[in-house]
Amino acid sequence: ICLSELERIRSKLVDVLSYNDFIYLLHNLRKLNVLNDEEKKTVEGKTTREDKARCLIDTVKEKGGKASSLMVDYLTEKHPELCSTLDPTKTAQISEFNVFLKFP
């Protein structure tokens, strides 16, 4: 489900993901070993914020359901306006990613 959710909202994510959100997400996905150093550098090497976001989303999607779930959970927490396009049960879940980040 998370892979299809991520695919469905990809273009909207590229539009709404701020540079700061992108950096925070990238850093934490690396910290959780969802991304390796090479993948992180590839994403960082893109020129525009939009290209960085597309590369990050596509890289996470290629990692499969667990990685996609971690990203979707983060985005659900940080961008509640996206919840309407996601599986509604996602908004009620407390993910290990959100617990790890200790969002206020």
One digit per residue, the tens of pLDDT, for the chain of length 104 reads 456 766 777 887 788 778 888 888 899 899 888 999 999 999 999 999 999 999 998 999 899 888 888 887 777 777 776 555 544 444 444 344 444 444 43
Rg (CA), the chain: 12
- Which residues, including other chains, have CB under 8 Å from residue 65's CB and lie 6 or more apart? 1, 2, 3
* pLDDT reported for residue 3: 65
List domains and CATH numbers for the chain: 2-94 (1.10.533.10)
pLDDT at res. 10: 80
Contact 35/61 with Cβ under 8 angstroms? no
Query: What's the confidence (pLDDT) of residue 82?
Result: 59
